Structures are given as structure tokens and as C-alpha cells.
Amino acid sequence: MTDEYQFRSPRQHEQSTPVLGDGTRCVHAGLPEPTPGAPFLPGPVFAAPYHLDPRQGPEGSPNGYGRSDNPTRRLLEAAVGELEGGDCRVFASGQAAITGLLLAVLRAGDAVVLPSDGYFPVRAFATDTLAGNGVEVQFAPTVGPYPDLDGVRLVLVETPANPGLDVVDLPALAERVHAAGALLAVDNTTATPLGQRPLDLGADVVVASGTKALTGHSDLLLGYVATRSVDLLSTVTAWRTATGSVPGAFDAWLAHRSLATLDLRLARQTANADALTRLLAARTDVDGLRWPGLPDDPAHPVAVRQLRRMPGVLSFDLGSADRVVRFLDAARLVVAATSFGGLHTTADRRAQWGDDTPPGFVRLSCGVEDTADLIADVGAALDAAG
């Protein structure tokens, strides 16, 4: 089935691992060649229509109309594409990117496999909209077992999964998916392209929310699709132009500006998650601690093979909604908020959003605060929560 999409290079285990370090790549990603008198990152270009050449019309310039063309957006796409090792299209949000890929690729009668423990709104979209369109929707847990993939057109996995943080072996799964003639899509939101390069690990296409750690300042919504298939990229591009689910110029510029510090932000977030999980693991009043970086976490063996760095997100269970409230009331550096990957440490009781997690289940996202301050604060808040 995937014969329909041509890939510009071998799909499996392509050795495109970058030569330059992550910090260097982030600082330079997508920037134009230095031009005297020009800024490092050109400011946002605000335009709906652009001037056209009266004779050549749209052929005379790369920019005709803002829904399909925007130079600020193209620079961001170059940056994210460099980091993922593919060609990228950005969307107005992660949901716009993921639902866009699913709607652009899947037809009535197709079967799709989605994570049963992944991002809840994607599952809800599948059972409502996709199933309503005549797509056969199947769910599998991130760690498997995966169903028989015969006749399946696309498998979407989220790894590490949000919020459970399970990890699936991507090269092994890619082999199975490709043997069945299906496409493998990987939601790379939690890891970010610095934490995991799914296209190098056998995935055909990456989808992600750029709202989270990628941009990391809790001030914009963004999504993207990245692939090495020219045909799939053009299918996705045509979908985006037809539906108009593009980010605005200012958000695209802010996102690109934020990418420069991704390596630094992730480094502190990971260090904080590492220290915090040690504290939490040593406490008898915290259950179900999950972080792929913990040596005894079930996801650890696969995570150390395929993640380039551990995420700043962890999860645990405080037993009841009340105890979570007491913990958040007592904490000074952990604020109640959904989303994750931002500069500020946040905690989210997922059940309050209708997620199928236990009432005391907390997803905690480490910010870039000083590690010692965060550890002291969380310890004191847990003591106060009783």
C-alpha cells in the first residue's frame, strides 16, 4: 500500500545522524545565510495577499497568498525539518497536524491502528470523525501487543506516550508495519527531535505538537508533520492549503526564536526530572512513578536504545484528587496547568480532563528552575499534602 508514496532515501535505519552537536544545530536551524545589515532571524512577515507581478502572476514570486505561502513559516519549516531529518510542514496546532495527516491519508474502508494510551483528543477524534468517515479504527497499547497488521494502512504510535510514558521499539515496529505494507507515523511530541529521530529509526512520517517542549515557552500553539517522502509531503501540503490550518506569522516567528534554546532547556528539564524521580522513588507516599530514565522503569531498556535524551516529563499517582489539590496548594514552584515541556514546572491531574487515568494520577513537567529549589519545594509540598 505504501508503494503509493515514494521515499527519497531508504526508510529503515538511514544513517543521517547529524555531525554537529544539538546546541549548535538548534542555534543555527533554519537561519538564512548571514547578510550584512540583516537580523539573524528575519522578523515576521505579516501578509494575506502579496504584490504580484502583473505579467507573471503567481509564477513570478514564491509568495502569492498567505494560506499557502509565508516566508516566516518556511524558515521555521526549514529549522524543524533539519532537526527531524526530513521535510516539514507546520500547522496551527498539534491536533491540526495529526488530524490533517490522518484525514489526508485515510479513506473509507482503510484500517488504522492508534495508541490506546496516547493523547486523548486523538483517540476521541478517531472514534468520532474517522470511524464516522468509514475508517476502521483499532487501538493498541504503546508497548503492544499490536494486532495483525494485514490490511492496515497506517499505524500511529506515540513514544514516549503521553501521559503514561511507555516506549515502543521503533525499528522493530517499523519492520512489522512495512512488512504489512502500511505506513508508520510517530508522534514525537514528548521526546522532541533532539530526544528522538523517528525518521532515522524507520518511521515514514513524524507528527508532533510544537506547543510543548519544542517551543517551550507556554505562549503559542503549533504542530508539524515531517517526512522524507516527496509524495506524502505534497499530500499533506495540499491538505493544509485546502483546510487553511496554518499558524500565523507571529507564532511561527516566536516558535523559531524559541528553538534556539531547545538544547539548553531540555538539558535542564532532564536534569530536573532525573533529580525529582530520585526524590519521588525514595518516598513511600508516592505510587506508580514512571520516567523512562529510571533504571527500573519498564520503558528503560528500549528508551536507552532509541532516545537521545530522556524527557523532562514524569508521572506518578498520589492516590486521590484531594491529595493532588493539597500538593499543588502547598507547592510554590509547581503550578497547576495542562500541557508540558515549558520553562515553568507544571503538574496536571489528567482525570479532570476526562482522560481515562486514575483520579490521583499526575503528569509533572519539569521546568528550568534550579534543581535544588525544585527538589526542596516538591519534597516540602508532599510532606504538607500528608
Binding-site ranges for ligand PLP (CB under 6 A):
93-95, 98, 119, 158, 162, 187, 189, 209, 211-212, 221, 223
CB of 223 to ligand PLP, least distance (A): 5
Cβ-based nearer residue to ligand PLP, 94 or 381: 94
Cβ-based nearer residue to ligand PLP, 256 or 323: 256
CB of 97 to ligand PLP, least distance (A): 8
Cβ-based nearer residue to ligand PLP, 88 or 385: 88
Cβ-based nearer residue to ligand PLP, 118 or 293: 118
Cβ-based nearer residue to ligand PLP, 95 or 272: 95
CB of 221 to ligand PLP, least distance (A): 5
128/130 Cα distance (integer angstroms) = 6
CB of 386 to ligand PLP, least distance (A): 31
CB of 123 to ligand PLP, least distance (A): 11
Cβ-based nearer residue to ligand PLP, 180 or 337: 337
Cβ-based nearer residue to ligand PLP, 215 or 235: 215
Q: Which residue is nearest to ligand PLP (CB)?
A: 94
CB of 255 to ligand PLP, least distance (A): 11
Sort 37 into a burial class: Cβ within 10 Å, 0-12 / 13-18 / 19+: exposed
CB of 153 to ligand PLP, least distance (A): 20
